[in-house]
Structure formats: C-alpha cells, structure tokens
Amino acid sequence: MTVNSNVLRSDSTDGAVAYPLDPLSGAEIEAAAAIIMNSEYATATIKFVMISLAEPAKTPALTFEGAGRVPRRALATMYDAAAKLVYEAIVDLGARVIDAWKPVPGRFPSYLVEHMTGVEEKVREDPRWQEAMRKRGVTDFSLAMIDPWPAGYYGPQDHYDNSPLICRPLTFMRAAPSEHGYARPVEGLIVTFDLDAMKVIDIEDHGVVPFPPTAGNYSEKFMFDPNNRPAFSAFRDDVKPIEITQPDGPSFTVDGWRVQWQKWSMRVGFTPREGIVLHEIAYTDRGQTRPIVYRASLSEMVVPYGDTAPTHWNKNVFDMGEVGMGFSANPLTLGCDCLGEIFYFDGTVNDSSGAAVTIPNAICMHEEDYGISWKHTDFRTGEVEVRRSRRLVISMICTVGNYEYGFFWYFYNDASIEVEVKLSGVLTTGAVAEGEDPRWGKMVAPGVYGPNHQHFFNFRLDMSIDGAGNSVYEVDSIPEPDPALNPHHNAWITRDTLVASEADGARDWDWSTGRYWKIANPSKRNELGSPVAYKLTPKDVVPVMVQEGSYIHDRARFVQHNLWVTRYDAAELYAAGDYMYQSADMQGLPQYIADDAPLEDTDIVVWYTVGAHHVVRPEDWPVMPCAYTGFHLKPVGFFDGNPALDLPPSPPKPCHSHHAGLPVADVAGES
C-alpha cells in the first residue's frame, strides 16, 4: 500500500484567510468558546455541545470565488444542566462579538463528550447494579462493558418537564480483559441514568438469563482459540498481495479544503454532527464550470429495533442527531481503511469546555479503478475501443458503540455520483435461555441472538443543476396508455409528474414502474431542446417496519417516504429536526413541508432516505461483514453526449495471463 504522507490538517487555516465554507479551525473553535465564556451569557454550569461553522448565505453565483471578504462566524450549541436549557449562539469571530443568542426551551441536547466516557464508571459503582450483577454470578465488575445508549422514549415520564437528561445504559460482560463483551449480553437489566447529575436513577431487572456459553472473539490473539465460535486453525495462506501504485501520484489536487479531480471540483467540509459535508460540487464541461449540488451531507439516521423484549423495544437511536457522526469519526491511521495514494483531512471538534479536539485523518480521499467505463468491438473490422472507469472516493468511518458506519461519496469520470453506506461492526445482542427460540430475532451463536432491526439514513442534497432554479419530476415507465397506439401490446412510455409544491413533496418509490426522480433546470436546455437534468435512482429500497402507534413512528417520520422535496431554507438541515433527543413530538421534514411552498423552477432541496433491513445471520457473528446500501445521481440530458467519451485509452502494458494447462506468461495487452 502506498500512502500519501502529506496530510492536510483542518487547523491549517490558522493565521490564513479561510474560504467562507471552510470548517472552523481549532483556533476558531476555541475563540468562539472564549468569546461566549467572557460574555454576559456565561454561567458556571454551561457546557458546549457543538461548535461549527455558521455557514454564510448563498450567493447568486452559488460560489464565493471572487465574492470578497465574508465574515467568519461560528454556531455554538450549549447546554446548561442547572437551568435545563439548550442555548444557541452565533459568534462573529473577526469582530469577537455575539451576533445572536437564543434559548431553546423544551429540548434536550445531543451527547456531550463526557457522557460517552463517564457513564460506565458511575453505573459500575451503583450498589443496585452490583446486586443485579451478583444475581448473575458476576463479582469482578471491572470486566463489565456499559454502553450509554440514548434514552429513546418510554412515554410521557420522559418528557422534558418531568425528566432530567437521561440515557439507558446496556451492560455486557467480558470473560477476560480485552475479550469480545458483546458475546455475553446482560439480558433484562435496564439502567436509567441521569446525565445532568451523572448518577443512576433507577434499575429495572426483568429476570436472570444465563450468559451464553461460548466466546465470540475476532481479534488475532483469540482467533484460533478452540473455545471461540467460530474457531479456525490458521489464517488463509492463499491470499496473495495486491499492491495499488500511482507512480506519478494521484490525479487530484488539493488547495486547503478545495479538491479538483479531472473535471470535478468541490469543497470538502466537516462538522461535529454531520461529519463529511461537500459544497459547491461542479463539473467542467467543454471549458464551462457547471454547478450540480451546492451542499450535500448526511442529514439524519435512525436504527429502530423490532423486538418487544424489555431490553430492546425502546432501541431507536438517532446516531447522528443524538451522538454526532463527526464526533464518532475514526482516525484512519491503523490498518488499511483505504488503498492507493491517499490524502487525509483532519476533523476538528470541541469538548464540553470549548477546547478544540483534532481527529487525525478523519476523512480519506483516494482514487479507485472501477472496471470498464465503456467498450465496443466492431465485429466486422475487429477494432476495439475500451476505456477504464475511475472514481474519486471521499469517505469516513464512524464508530457508534457496537456498530461501524462507513460513508462513501463516489465521483465517477462519466459525471455520475454515488453515495454508499457500508455497515459493519458488532450486532447489539440479546441472550436467551437454552432451548428457547427468539420470536423477534435470529440466533447467531448458542445463547446469543440478534434482534430484528433496520437502519435508515437520510441524505440532504441542496441541488443546483446549472443554477438555483430547479424542478423535480417523478418519472414512471408505463405501458402505452392509448390502445390505438399499441396494437402489438409491447409499447411503453415514460411519464413525468411535476412535484409542484411541498404538499406533494413526500414521494415513494414504485418497483412496478421503475420509478426514479429527475431534478431539472427548466431554464437551461441541451442541444435536443430538453431541460438539463440529473436523476436520482434508488440502489436498495427496504420496507419500513416502523408502525403507526409506536413512539418511533412520530420521532422518525422521515423514514415513512423514500424521497422528500422542500423549498430551500437555510434553517432546515436535519430530517428529524434540530433536537430529537428524548422527545416524542413530530419534527423535521413533516414540518418543513407544512407551509406547502411552491417547488417549480426554484431553489429546492432533495432529501433521500436509504435503508438496510437486517434480519441477522450466524454469518454476521462475531463481527459483521460489510452490508451496503445507497443511491446514484446520474446525468440525464445534462450533457450533449457521453461525458466519458474523452477518456484517454490506457497505454499498453504487461499483464499476467494465466491459461489452463499452460505456463504463466507476461502478455502485452491494450486496454
């Protein structure tokens, strides 16, 4: 593996003039916190939840190139446990003043940094928890893993007026230090924990279930233990090395946070809540830079569980809005998360005191060969033309408790875009007594089962197809509706339906019509006279098992439709609302479309939800092979022909050819 040692650090703008959309540097984060703490608004009990860039308003040109100086401002979210209030502040970093200060009553914040690290210690010290563990034969409490799961919602007692900020930790037991604790879940034990006071409020014990009998370790030091399940005798010895080299270096260039790759250009960003944010995505077509997406990011995700057992029924974590994808980003320095010539961006977040915390190598960027882009063989002449496809990959991997989520943005040299989520890590597990069969899950090892669950990810795409005036059409393929025009019963057409206003903005995929959605600019035409457009095509669509009448139904309304279209509003960034922690009321997209704003030829935002339907398998244990889901954005009439036509042929080069019955030879081939 060749790794580029030139690592961009997100604090590299310290002392320099930052582009208006660049993430806050570490110095800017700490300056924002200091300005607030030195102001009249400061209290001894206020803590910082998130500090990120307060993005400037869009310009008519959809770029800040040549726009002159734009003030750098920070958006700070804070929580005062004593006042039980969330506050928001806008801080002008240059003038060192607070431009706006707003209390947000009736809402809870996402996790503070210490919530993820301090809960385990406090639960382990609680006598009631210790007594419950003794009932299960546990005396060495140091081996307990206590995951601080967000509270979910149990009912009105969890409402803001009646409850502190809480979480409901789950306990797992290692058999020895560094073992895989998720193999031994403590079933039936529910802790309610006060995050304001950092103490246990209550313990529910629904009865002792024996610990599963076998280990589930997957690291090298445990791999070949015969007591492990599954156990192997050795690593495979037939895996030959693959080396990816780029002798002339990568094809992309990086200037601060701006990336250019072949005909693509964009600005990479990072926030504590969203993680990767991409701005000003554009494509250069015959010398003209054409905007496609102004801002793209993950907007929310939720993991509802379909198990009614006491330990599992309330699990419905909004990992982004309740924890933060940026906070959860891995430093990609161990192992080979990416192969090739790699460029890393650091991510900078804050702790609860307002100090900057750098996550080194939080975002990975590299190129990948992706097989054939296009090919044709003229069978009469034997002439062959073929071009290789390549893609630029911008990715991050986030660990939230037991699960890993990889978020991958792919840019292809045929001007298409793909978004892919890779799901890995460890199942959240339950235990059953010997001989029992779980009704709402599947066994993965003796005594261990994985509950039925789903993962939903909503992506916010602030579209700008050749400008801000866009319209969205739902495109269905249907049999020719006029019998007189279809005498052979074989004809079919496509039907475009304009999504005219937000009242019609919640849309569902239809397998029977091969439905996709087209985002067009009615003011710009291609050489055939059609509006230029991109289409959004589903990759995987799963049924939504969240049922009306459940608490999660109202908390995660965005999962009820595959696609939503709204008129642009800078304040509408998150599909489930700004603050969903410990709240049962409907927020986010249903509210955004309530005013029924017109959507034709205007500045629109497309929100797309992808899902993963997880009925677990023994093969998902003890660590899960990656599952994949996502979607594509493809040009449809945006260009006057194949945009990959100008890809150069690959030069002739030796390749290793293996023929049955013949010795291996180096054969020169042209691709």
R_g of the chain computed on alpha carbons:
27
Q: Same fold for the domain at 26-104 and the one at 252-305+316-427+452-636?
A: no
Distance from C-alpha of 618 to C-alpha of 44, rounded to nearest angstrom? 51
Residue 383 CA to its chain's centroid (Å) = 45
Which among 555, 588, 564, 662 has a CA at the least distance from the CA of 159? 555
Where does 526-623 show beta strands of DSSP type E?
531-538, 563-567, 604-614
Residue with tokens 């946070």: 257
Classify 452 as helix, strand or coil: coil
Per residue in 148-163, pLDDT (tens digit) is 999 988 888 887 677 8
Enter the tokens of residue 52.
């990120």
Distance from C-alpha of 559 to C-alpha of 459, rounded to nearest angstrom? 11
Distance from C-alpha of 317 to C-alpha of 194, rounded to nearest angstrom? 18
Q: What are phi and psi of 668, to 5 degrees?
A: -75, 125
Look up 403 and say whether it is catalytic. yes
CA angle in degrees (0–180, nearest 5) for 148-45-203: 30
Q: Report whether 273 contacts 324 (CB < 8 A).
A: yes
Enter the tokens of residue 217.
């370790």
Per residue in 240-271, pLDDT (tens digit) is 988 888 999 999 999 999 999 999 999 999 99
Residue 15 pLDDT exceeds 70: no
pLDDT at 659: 59
For the domain made up of 252-305+316-427+452-636, the CATH class stated in words is mainly beta
The identity of residue 281, as a single letter, is: I
User: In which band, very low, low, confident or very high, does the pLDDT at 227 lie, cut at 50, 70 and 90?
Assistant: confident
Per residue in 561-596, pLDDT (tens digit) is 999 999 999 999 999 999 999 988 889 999 999 999
Enter the tokens of residue 242.
């693959």
* Mean pLDDT to the nearest integer, 660-664: 51
pLDDT at 373: 96
Domain boundaries defined on the chain: 26-104, 252-305+316-427+452-636
Percent of the chain with pLDDT over 90: 83
pLDDT at 11: 43
Residue 79 CA to its chain's centroid (Å) = 25
* Mean pLDDT to the nearest integer, 175-195: 93
Enter the tokens of residue 516.
């996709």
pLDDT at 22: 98
Which among 283, 284, 304, 301 has a CA at the least distance from the CA of 292? 283
Q: Report whether 406 contacts 422 (CB < 8 A).
A: yes
- Which comes out higher in pLDDT, residue 561 or 2? 561
Residue with tokens 């209390």: 103
Sequence-ordered list of residues with C-beta below 8 angstroms from that of 557, at least 6 positions apart, any chain? 576, 586, 588, 589, 590
pTM for this structure? 0.95
Residue with tokens 């809960």: 119
pLDDT at 661: 55
Distance from C-alpha of 21 to C-alpha of 471, rounded to nearest angstrom? 26
Which among 138, 168, 172, 141 has a CA at the least distance from the CA of 153? 168
Sequence-ordered list of residues with C-beta below 8 angstroms from that of 328, at least 6 positions apart, any chain? 275, 319, 398, 399, 400
User: In which band, very low, low, confident or very high, does the pLDDT at 6 lie, cut at 50, 70 and 90?
Assistant: very low
Residue 286 pLDDT exceeds 90: yes
Residue 321 CA to its chain's centroid (Å) = 11
Residue 521 pLDDT exceeds 60: yes
Which among 548, 546, 521 has a CA at the least distance from the CA of 609? 546
- Which comes out higher in pLDDT, residue 232 or 342? 342
* Mean pLDDT to the nearest integer, 91-107: 97
pLDDT at 335: 65
Enter the tokens of residue 666.
């180096």
Candidate CATH numbers 3.10.20.30, 3.10.450.40, 3.40.50.620, 3.40.630.30; the one for domain 26-104: 3.10.450.40
Where does residue 282 fall: left (phi above 0), alpha (psi -120 to 50 degrees), or beta otherwise? beta
Which among 272, 317, 280 has a CA at the least distance from the CA of 298? 272
Catalytic residue among 319, 346, 462, 578: 319
* Letter string b/e over residues 485-517, b meaning 16 or more CB atoms within 10 A of that residue's CB: eeeeeeeeeeeeeebebbebbbbebeeebebbb
Instruction: Indicate the DSSP class of residue 380.
Output: T
Look up 80 and say whether it is catalytic. no
Enter the tokens of residue 571.
């304040």
Catalytic residue among 79, 111, 153, 403: 403
Instruction: Indicate the DSSP class of residue 320.
Output: I
Sequence-ordered list of residues with C-beta below 8 angstroms from that of 485, at least 6 positions apart, any chain? 491
Q: What distance, in Å, lies between the first and last C-alpha atoms of the chain?
A: 24
**Average pLDDT over the chain, rounded to whole?**
92
Strand order in the sheet with 471-479: 343-350, 356-377, 384-400, 403-412, 417-425, 624-635, 531-538, 516-525, 471-479, 492-498
pLDDT at 34: 98
pLDDT at 504: 96
Residue 658 pLDDT exceeds 80: no
